[in-house]
């Protein structure tokens, strides 16, 4: 069985490939990468390295040749995902891929989360393609908050418009382990998994975790969306990006990322990584 991973040198994809080569014959793993120069270490382990980006349909079809299972890691380019994801799925059909495992977003087809529409499109397009599929609806990565550590160190404050919302985050390593389980074990075809941490934490808990890491008090300052946009613009962030961040916080306040399902820990056979532990590991 040949298993391919898109974005194989990216933050999630690299962890999946790392775990795959420990679980299966490295020669059966295909790393689909933007820049082969960044994958020389994988090639040295016996992994097949094939170049292709999400904007290159022909290269994608070539990269997917002979692939039984494809882990389709969603594009990181928000706003461009519809065209890019369509190209990946069309290439998988053209190459005769046996199954696609797609990394989506929580409750993608029904959620009001600002990121959900592109994932909704992808899930529906994948279903219409006729390809057998498994959907991994990944909640937030704990590593998304890595940048807050230095801000907390300098200011002693965590500023957000998330209200009392909760986030069931887990580490990228947790989500990677789930992907490997689904790729290497039977019984997952046609399944949709809502994956997230075992505990949904609030921003007071995030502030406390940041305080543990920086070694000084950190306070959560809850603000409304327009206030957050103004604060972010004062730091040099452009208006569009600031508005997007505020919208995400508003989605968190509304409960879009707070669901705890237990499906991630069940797939990986262990508890998910706690918030503090995940942040400490990400901080190095």
* Rounded CA separation 243/245 (Å): 5
Strand 201-202 and strand 166-167: the pairing is antiparallel
The listed CATH number (2.40.50.140, 3.40.50.10860, 3.40.50.720, 3.60.110.10) that belongs to domain 3-138 = 3.40.50.720
* Contacts made by residues 111-116, CB under 8 angstroms, sequence distance 24+: 111/256, 112/251, 112/254, 112/256, 113/248, 113/251, 113/256, 113/257, 114/244, 114/247, 114/248, 114/251, 115/78, 115/248
CATH 1.20.1530.20 fits 139-169+195-258+270-284, yes or no: no
What average pLDDT does this structure show over 179-191? 96
pLDDT of res. 61: 97
**CB under 8 Å to 84, separation ≥6 — which residues?**
54, 55, 75, 77
pLDDT of res. 38: 95
Cross-strand pairs, 141 = 170
Q: For residue 75, what pLDDT band results from cuts at 50, 70 and 90?
A: very high
pLDDT of res. 78: 86
* Rounded CA separation 71/134 (Å): 9
Indicate whether 79 pLDDT > 90. Answer: no
pLDDT digits (tens, 9 = 90+) for 192-223: 999 999 999 999 999 999 999 999 999 999 99
Cross-strand pairs, 103 = 136
Cross-strand pairs, 5 = 31, 71
Task: Quickly tell me which residue has 């230095």 as its tokens.
Answer: 150
CB-based burial, 210-233: b 16+ in 10 Å, e otherwise: bbebbeeebebbbbebeebbebbe
Q: For residue 284, what pLDDT band results from cuts at 50, 70 and 90?
A: confident
CA angle 16, 52, 66 (to 5 degrees): 70
* Rounded CA separation 204/227 (Å): 19
- Tell me the CA end-to-end span of the chain in Å, nearest whole number: 35
Within 10 angstroms of residue 21's Cβ, the number of other Cβ atoms is 18
Q: Where are the domains of the chain?
A: 3-138, 139-169+195-258+270-284
pLDDT digits (tens, 9 = 90+) for 224-265: 999 999 999 998 999 999 999 999 999 999 999 999 999 999
**CB under 8 Å to 174, separation ≥6 — which residues?**
197, 264, 268, 272, 273
pLDDT of res. 225: 97
pLDDT digits (tens, 9 = 90+) for 81-112: 999 999 999 999 999 999 999 999 999 999 99
Rg (CA), the chain: 19
**CA pseudo-torsion sign 11, 141, 208, 243:** positive
Query: pTM, whole model, 2 decimals?
Result: 0.96
pLDDT of res. 55: 92
């Amino acid at each position: 069985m040949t298993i391919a991973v898109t974005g194989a040198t990216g933050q999630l994809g690299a962890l999946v490939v790392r775990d795959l080569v420990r679980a299966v014959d490295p020669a059966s793993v295909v790393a689909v990468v933007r820049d082969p120069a960044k994958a020389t270490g994988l090639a040295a382990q016996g992994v097949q390295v094939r170049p292709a980006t999400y904007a290159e349909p022909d290269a994608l079809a070539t990269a997917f040749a002979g692939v039984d299972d494809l882990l389709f890691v969603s594009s990181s380019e928000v706003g461009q995902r519809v065209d890019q994801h369509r190209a990946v799925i069309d290439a998988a059909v053209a190459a005769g891929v046996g199954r696609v495992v797609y990394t989506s977003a929580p409750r993608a087809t029904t959620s009001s989360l600002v990121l959900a529409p592109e994932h909704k499109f992808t899930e529906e397009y994948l279903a219409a393609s006729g390809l057998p599929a498994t959907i991994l609806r990944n909640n937030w990565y704990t590593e998304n908050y890595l940048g807050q550590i230095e801000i907390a160190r300098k200011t002693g404050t965590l500023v957000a418009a998330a209200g009392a919302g909760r986030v069931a985050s887990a580490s990228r390593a947790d989500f990677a382990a789930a992907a490997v389980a689904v790729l290497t074990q039977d019984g997952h075809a046609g399944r949709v998994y809502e994956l997230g941490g075992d505990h949904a934490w609030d921003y007071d808990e995030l502030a406390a975790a940041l305080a543990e890491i920086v070694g000084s008090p950190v306070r959560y300052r809850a603000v409304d969306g327009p206030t957050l946009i103004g604060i972010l613009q004062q730091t040099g962030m452009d208006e569009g990006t600031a508005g997007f961040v505020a919208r995400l916080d508003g989605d968190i306040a509304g409960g879009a990322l707070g669901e705890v399902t237990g499906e991630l820990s069940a797939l990986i056979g262990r508890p998910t990584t706690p918030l503090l532990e995940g942040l400490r590991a990400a901080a190095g």
